[in-house]
Amino acid sequence: MSDTTATVRLFRTTAIKLALIYLAALTLASGAVLVYLSQNTATVLREQVVDTVDAEISGLADQYRIGGIRALVATVDARSRRPGASLYLVTDFAANQLVGNIEQLDDRVLAGESGELQRVIYTPIGGGPRREALARVFQLSGGFRLLVGRDLQEQQYFRSLLAEAMRFWLFVLAALGLITWVFVSRRVLKRIDAMTATSRRIMSGDLSERLPVEGSGDEFDRLAIGLNAMLTRIEALMQGLKDVSDNIAHDLKTPLTRMRNRLEEALRSDLSGDSKAREVLETTIEDCDVLIRTFNALLRIARVEAGSSDASFDEIDVSELVREVAELYAPVAEDEGGGMELRVTDGLRVSGNRELLVQALINLVENALKYARQEEGEGARVELEARAESGEVLLGVRDHGPGIADADKERVLHRFVRLEASRSAPGSGLGLSLVSAVARLHHGRLELADAQPGLMARLRLPEAGNADAAATAGGD
Amino acid sequence: MRILIVEDDKEAASYLAKAFREAGHVVDHAADGEEGYDLATSAPYDVLVVDRMLPRRDGLSLISGLRSQGFHTPVLVLSALGQVDDRVTGLRAGGDDYLPKPYAFSELLARVEALGRRPRQQEVETSYTVGDLTLDRLSHTVTRSGQEIPLQPREFRLLEYLMQHAGQVVTRTMLLEHVWEYHFDPQTNVIDVHISRLRAKIDKDFDRPLLHTVRGAGYTIRDAGRA
């Protein structure tokens, strides 16, 4: 099996669906937690900033009230040199910087409403990148302005930390999901594949196969044990059925043989006897043969329908098979003034049982020969075709006879169904049911279509190599 | 020929014995597998006719027992199990021919005689001759009275099989099995049609017919003038 199909199968499993659902749910939930957390922290941090700024402002305002601008400048100067200091700026009425640790600031900030908390962008003293801060600006008497603020870098750092954590968490989640999925699906898939393969072998007839049991006692083991018990039971029943049919074959065929033998003996020992008795004997032998044939056909259908575990399958060149059958029967058609036309694509192969396929084809051809004529006296024209169509091999046999009414097409596939009311023509009514049983055994089907005039009986079989696809499609 | 019948059904066995004797053969009978094995290993038989379902010892085990002991007597397996796969099992166990029940005695006789008179080394024969008809297996030519008769490959094989068993009856099913390798009961007279085509080629323009129909049994090829 190629890599791509393996991947496709990996994606089609329940395991990946579950993994994806869990992954999505976990991501959503942890996302919600993170959003909640980061918003709450943001609020708390902001409140802290505001509190700090307010406390500083009230302290500085006191300084100004007591010591005037000079004291304020001195305090601010001292405070702004401390490590981790807040932002300070004192300007005069002309907006000249008197003191502070801000190098540059948007002018509009200082012009803003007094006391309002605002977000400002500034450049710290000594240059460097522009930074963000929360600050309040106060108009002091004498045109002085005081700005006290708090850098927001910490807050942003915290936020980026959270985002980082979130990304990492998502990555961990995805990785975990992936690992669990691969492990689960690999393991689950492997066991399910093993079970599927076994069940396919069982389906193709080997009832002695059993599903693998690992011995771990998990649900797969329990399933396998249960199914194996079922198989044992079915095998026993099938064996019983086979024994019964073998016994029927033996017990019914033996008396039939004796009867036929006695008749033959009577015929042989009475060569000079009266022709009437001889005729009776001969017709009885013929009847006997018809019985035997019918009986054989019935047994054969029963075996084929039971999936005949002993029918061996090989890869068969059906083009060759169709030619052989045509070669065998062409003289029969020609003798009746007709002929056999062949349209065969070379090299068509199916996996199947040669004997059963030959029997099916021959049944179709004999049927066609029987009903080949539209009118009495016309030559029997039978057409045989073999071609491939979308992964299937089509084996068609067409006659130019009266065909089968749509209403009867299903019915003729049943055993002993014969359409002519008189039942005078030879035949048991088992031919098409055998063909249809053989078709089913080969994961194919028998189609009856109007050829106008005549009947087109078509055997559709999966081409060799495509048998798998047909088996999954459940070809019935 | 000396024939041993291993068959548990008394009536069938006595009928078979009687019919074989009528056909001019010497017949012994064993009623179960063990007895059959003892007889087959103690006396020289030309052909064994063995039923498959036997008391005490199964027919197939009887045959494989014989084969493992180095007995190469031709065996015809007679069985109610007539599926192709049953035949394959029977032939693999060492049987030389397989006839499903119910059979026609004429068919059984034809097969047993074909087995019994089979030349030990068939491959050595490179040509067959019946009357003035000669079939050369190497050059794939058929001549009658020095005149070459062109035959289709299948007709050649049909004639070859008939001539291999010249003088013996060959049934329709034997022909289907050996010439076409099919195992089924034809409803139409398909074999008769092929035989009549062959007959048209080898007999039509000649004074004496060689290919004869045996009523109720099959066909035989023989020079009637000398038979």
Residue-wise pLDDT for A136-182, tens only, equals 888 777 778 888 888 877 777 877 888 888 888 888 888 887 887 77
Q: Which of B101, B104, B186 sits opposite A264 (nearest CB)?
A: B104
pLDDT at A422 over 50: no
Binning pLDDT at 50, 70 and 90, where does residue A467 land? very low
- The pLDDT value recorded for residue A76 is 82
Q: Which of A264, A331, A426 sits opposite B187 (nearest CB)?
A: A426
* Interaxial angle between packed helices A14-81 and A153-203, expressed in degrees from 0 to 180 and rounded to the nearest 10: 170
Please list every residue in chain B whose beta carbon sits closer than 8 Å to the beta carbon of residue A282: 216
Please list every residue in chain A whose beta carbon sits closer than 8 Å to the beta carbon of residue B81: 246, 249-250
Are A332 and B197 a contacting pair at CB < 8 A? no
Q: Tell me how close the Cα of A18 comes to any Cα of chain B, in angstroms.
A: 49
Minimum CA–CA partner of A425 in chain B: B187
- Residue A264 contacts B where some CB pair is shorter than 8 Å: yes
- Residue A210 contacts B where some CB pair is shorter than 8 Å: no
- The pLDDT value recorded for residue A145 is 81
The question of ipTM being above 0.90 is answered as: no
Q: In the block, which residue shows the tokens 């062959």?
A: B198
Distance CA A249, CA B108 (A): 19
pLDDT at B44 over 50: yes
Q: Which of A257, A329, A427 sits opposite B103 (nearest CB)?
A: A257
Higher pLDDT, A465 or A268: A268
**Mode of pairing for the β-strands spanning A392-398 and A381-389:** antiparallel
Q: Tell me how close the Cα of B14 comes to any Cα of chain A, in angstroms.
A: 11
| Residue A140 per-residue DSSP state | P
Higher pLDDT, A30 or A468: A30
- The pLDDT value recorded for residue A359 is 86
* Among A244, A245, A254, the residue to mutate for chain B (most B Cβ within 10 A): A254
Please list every residue in chain A whose beta carbon sits closer than 8 Å to the beta carbon of residue B12: 254, 257-258, 261
Please list every residue in chain A whose beta carbon sits closer than 8 Å to the beta carbon of residue B9: 254, 258
| Residue A372 per-residue DSSP state | -
Are A282 and B180 a contacting pair at CB < 8 A? no
- Residue A367 contacts B where some CB pair is shorter than 8 Å: no
Are A250 and B81 a contacting pair at CB < 8 A? yes
Are B106 and A264 a contacting pair at CB < 8 A? yes
Length of chain B: 227
Distance CA A404, CA B226 (A): 55
Range with the poorest average pLDDT among A237-251, A358-372, A379-393: A237-251
The model's pTM is 0.60
Are B22 and A268 a contacting pair at CB < 8 A? yes
**A108-112, A123-127, A153-157, B139-143: range with highest mean pLDDT:** B139-143
CA atoms within 13 A on the CB side of A237: 7
Are A264 and B188 a contacting pair at CB < 8 A? no
% of chain A beyond a pLDDT of 90: 0
Residues 20-49, chain A, touching B (beta carbon < 8 A): none
- Residue A190 contacts B where some CB pair is shorter than 8 Å: no
* Among A328, A329, A334, the residue to mutate for chain B (most B Cβ within 10 A): A328
Q: Tell me how close the Cα of A358 comes to any Cα of chain B, in angstroms.
A: 8
3-state secondary structure of B26: strand
Sign, CA torsion A187/A190/A196/A198: negative
Q: Which of A331, A366, A426 sits opposite B194 (nearest CB)?
A: A331
Q: What angle do CA B130, B136, B137 make, to 5 degrees?
A: 120
Binning pLDDT at 50, 70 and 90, where does residue A294 land? confident
Say if CB A94 and CB A78 are below 8 A apart.
Answer: no
List, in sequence order, every beta strand (DSSP E) within chain B.
2-6, 26-30, 47-51, 75-79, 97-100, 127-130, 133-136, 141-144, 147-148, 170-171, 211-214, 218-221
Please list every residue in chain B whose beta carbon sits closer than 8 Å to the beta carbon of residue A435: none
